[in-house]
Amino acid sequence: LKESRRILDSNQPTPAIPFQHGLSAIASFPIDVWVKLTNRNYYYLQRNNFGYGEPAGYSPLRHAVANYLNAFRAVKCNPEQVIITNGAQHAFDLIGRVCLAPKTDVLMEDPGYVSARQAFQSFGATIIPVRVDANGFDLDSALSESRNARLAYVTPSHQFPLGVTMSLSRRLQLLEWAKRANAWIVEDDYDSEFRYEGRPLPSLQGIDQDGRVFYIGTFSKTIFAALRLGCLVVPPDLIDIFAAVRALNGLHSPLIAQATLAAFIDEGHFTRHIRRMRKLYRERQEILVSECEKLLAGKIDVKLSESGMHLIGWLNEGVDDRDMSERAASVGIKAASLSSFSFNEVSRGGLILGYTSTNEKQIKQGVKKLAQIFVSNKT
């Protein structure tokens, strides 16, 4: 029951206040287009499709997603490998069902995504925290901790929350390990659409030759979180078992939302929206950094990043990030501490500063409020 409270605490509703991370710019979403497609699909599908549907997902959506992932993320898959989920959290659950048993060792980035960790722990898995350095997930250090891990969870495109990109040699090393150890890799590609400079890196799944990678995509960041749709790409030999587990786990995702998303992708709205958001988020990131430089120099160290939806505001040595996060909350600011995503003590505290769901004015006000906290910290 104590564990339940902890899970609920880390899965609270997310108001669009500075600096909530991982939320899309809801006010800039093309709601008129979306509503039009929704209405069209209601009338179109009423004719015959309002009954129970395919557990793995609505076929046109699986095709649209496969095409998109092939083209933009270099994911190698056919539409049958795409399982439509109720968001990434649901994919963790399905993977846990199929791959985990009590006491299974799971390698996880530290710091890393708490909700994935909680999902795997709920199957009784033993979490092995793995150091993240400038090249990402450090497999060598992981293997010194566990010789019989069955699963490794990674965010190679943009490590959550540190933001580093996993190097190619680390990727190859990880794939080689999975092949040798007969283990699985979970690639959580949660915000790779938002890359502001350089070429996007292809997915880890795309360079896997041995069918060891589960690729997880989400529409929570690109469309909006309340939609509850995501995708999971599984190796061909596991399609049936995942579809069956999906059937046992709520049958399938809501039809109209699936059909609307399929049309949104197929008719080009999706990539157009991402392009617009990329521009907007980049601007917002620049505002956040320049405001912090103006008002928080010497207190918070924030650097421009070439991708993502948040930055780490590094604190000075000795400043407790949990304490600062609580102070921020007390003035209406959400700034999660790095410590809250860490297994081991962090060597330097930091605040996770999302910049995507709030506008310029809100970001500036947010930085001002943050600065006040630091002043009161001094006294």
Residue found under tokens 């995708």: 231
| Binding residue for a second copy, selected from 18, 19, 37, 54, defined by CB under 8 A | 54
Closer by beta carbon to a second copy, 91 or else 288: 91
Measure the CA–CA gap between 289 and 303, rounded to whole angstroms.
7
Measure the CA–CA gap between 135 and 138, rounded to whole angstroms.
8
Closer by beta carbon to a second copy, 19 or else 34: 34
Helices (H), the chain: 2-9, 31-46, 59-73, 88-99, 114-121, 139-145, 168-181, 239-248, 255-266, 269-295, 321-330, 360-378
Number of C-beta neighbours around residue 369 at 10 A: 18
Least distance from a second copy to the Cβ atom of residue 88, Å: 9
Per CB under 8 A, which of residues 243..272 are in contact with a second copy?
243-245, 247-257
Least distance from a second copy to the Cβ atom of residue 216, Å: 13
Per CB under 8 A, which of residues 306..365 are in contact with a second copy?
357
Give me Rg for the CA atoms of the chain. Answer: 21
Measure the CA–CA gap between 359 and 18, rounded to whole angstroms.
9
Contacts (Cβ under 8 Å, ≥6 apart) of 4: none
| Binding residue for a second copy, selected from 19, 215, 219, 224, defined by CB under 8 A | 224
Least distance from a second copy to the Cβ atom of residue 31, Å: 6
Least distance from a second copy to the Cβ atom of residue 81, Å: 15
| Binding residue for a second copy, selected from 33, 38, 141, 280, defined by CB under 8 A | 38
| Binding residue for a second copy, selected from 100, 175, 225, 261, defined by CB under 8 A | 225
Least distance from a second copy to the Cβ atom of residue 257, Å: 6
Closer by beta carbon to a second copy, 106 or else 289: 106
| Binding residue for a second copy, selected from 57, 73, 93, 270, defined by CB under 8 A | 93
Closer by beta carbon to a second copy, 16 or else 168: 16
| Binding residue for a second copy, selected from 71, 172, 176, 241, defined by CB under 8 A | 241
Burial annotation 311-346 (CB, 10 A radius, 16+ → b, else e): bbbbbeeebebeebbebbeeeebbbbbbbbbbbeeb
Q: Is the dihedral of CA 12, 87, 226, 192 positive or negative?
A: positive
Residue type, 320: D
| Binding residue for a second copy, selected from 145, 210, 240, 360, defined by CB under 8 A | 240
- Residue 32: exposed, middle, or buried by beta-carbon count in 10 A (0-12, 13-18, 19+)? exposed
Least distance from a second copy to the Cβ atom of residue 113, Å: 13
User: Is residue 48 close enough to count as binding a second copy by CB under 8 A?
Assistant: yes
Residue found under tokens 């040699």: 169
Closer by beta carbon to a second copy, 10 or else 173: 10
Closer by beta carbon to a second copy, 122 or else 173: 122
User: Is residue 78 close enough to count as binding a second copy by CB under 8 A?
Assistant: no
Closer by beta carbon to a second copy, 65 or else 245: 245
Per CB under 8 A, which of residues 108..167 are in contact with a second copy?
115, 118-119, 122
User: Of 147-155, 241-249, 296-304, 312-320, which part binds a second copy (CB under 8 A)?
Assistant: 241-249
Q: Are 185 and 130 in contact (CB under 8 A)?
A: no
Strand order in the sheet with 300-301: 300-301, 310-315, 350-354, 336-337
User: Is residue 182 close enough to count as binding a second copy by CB under 8 A?
Assistant: no
Binding mask 5-24 for a second copy (x = CB under 8 A): x-xx--xxxxxx---x--xx
User: Is residue 52 close enough to count as binding a second copy by CB under 8 A?
Assistant: yes
CA geometry: angle at 353 spanning 359 and 111, to 5°?
150
Nearest C-alpha neighbor of 264 from the set 19, 7, 41: 41
User: Is residue 26 close enough to count as binding a second copy by CB under 8 A?
Assistant: yes
